[in-house]
Amino acid sequence: MEKAFSEVQAYHGSIEIQSTNEEGETTIQAKMEVWADQKGRYYVKGNEGFNSGVITVNNGDKKWQLNPESQQIHILPTFPDTYPFTFELGNEINDITAALSTEIIGEDMIAGRSATILEVSPKGGEPYKVWIDMKRICR
């Protein structure tokens, strides 16, 4: 993954954050759309759940958050970044590499492409799942 990601200049994707209780009931906490690049610049739009409709942008020089509901724009400090979005791909690859364990638990189709599902058990955190396009990584 590290090698494949080193060739990526920028990426766009969707993030869905879910929680599952002890009875196996799953609840969507948030859905976000993300554009990001290797230089740490990003655009994140909350599509569902917490921060729904809120747009956060960091262009490397300035950072702001737009809340259409309150019709307010908040200027935020660029560094240190107090709002790293939930799933920054480069950091995630580093975290997976340092995880207590990773296990392939299945396959799925995402946007018409085959994906391998990994369950990651990070140090000091709850296990989570990541869908990976192995054809892109193992070329």
Identify whether 79 is part of a domain. Answer: yes
Beta bridge partners of 26: 20
Residue 136 phi, psi dihedral angles, 5° rounding: -75, -35
What is the number of domains present in the chain?
Answer: 1
Mean pLDDT, residues 20-41 taken together: 90
Task: State the residue range of the domain holding 74.
Answer: 12-84
Encode pLDDT of 44-66 as tens digits.
Answer: 999 998 889 999 999 988 999 99
Identify whether 123 is part of a domain. Answer: no
Encode pLDDT of 76-130 as tens digits.
Answer: 887 777 665 566 777 777 778 888 999 999 999 988 889 999 998 988 778 888 8
Greater pLDDT, 33 or 14: 33
Q: Is 63 exposed, middle or buried (0-12, 13-18, 19+ CB in 10 A)?
A: buried
Two structure tokens written together for 132:
């990976």
Whole-angstrom distance, CA of residue 41 vs CA of residue 89: 12
Identify whether 46 is part of a domain. Answer: yes
Whole-angstrom distance, CA of residue 24 vs CA of residue 98: 28
Identify whether 100 is part of a domain. Answer: no
pTM recorded for the entire structure: 0.70
